[in-house]
Amino acid sequence: MTLKDITVGKTAKVLKINGQGAVKRRIMDMGITKGTDINIIKVAPLGDPIEINLRGYALSLRKADAEMIIVE
């Protein structure tokens, strides 16, 4: 299951980040690393972007990037 599939109000734990190079590095630099708990706060009306809460701050993430994050 990917982060994109999680519904609003649910919490998920990061298992793996797919992707390569600069894209993967950018996601990791935002604080999304293996074992991090992520709470889905809200989704934009057209579905892109999604707002998540992790490590005490809110972050907006594109659906394309959320699709690279494998969660449980």
Where do the domains of the chain lie?
A: 3-71
44: amino acid identity, one letter: A
Structure token digits, residue 58: 């809110």
pLDDT digits (tens, 9 = 90+) for 35-63: 999 999 999 998 889 999 999 999 999 99
Q: At residue 29, does pLDDT exceed 90?
A: yes
Averaged pLDDT, 20-42: 92
Q: pTM for the full model?
A: 0.86
Domain 3-71 has CATH 1.10.8.60: no
Q: What is the pLDDT of residue 19?
A: 86
pLDDT of residue 48: 86
Nearest to 35 by CA among 53, 54, 21, 62: 54
Tokens of 40: 């889905």
Distance CA 23, CA 16 (A): 14
H-helix or E-strand spanning residue 54: strand 50-54
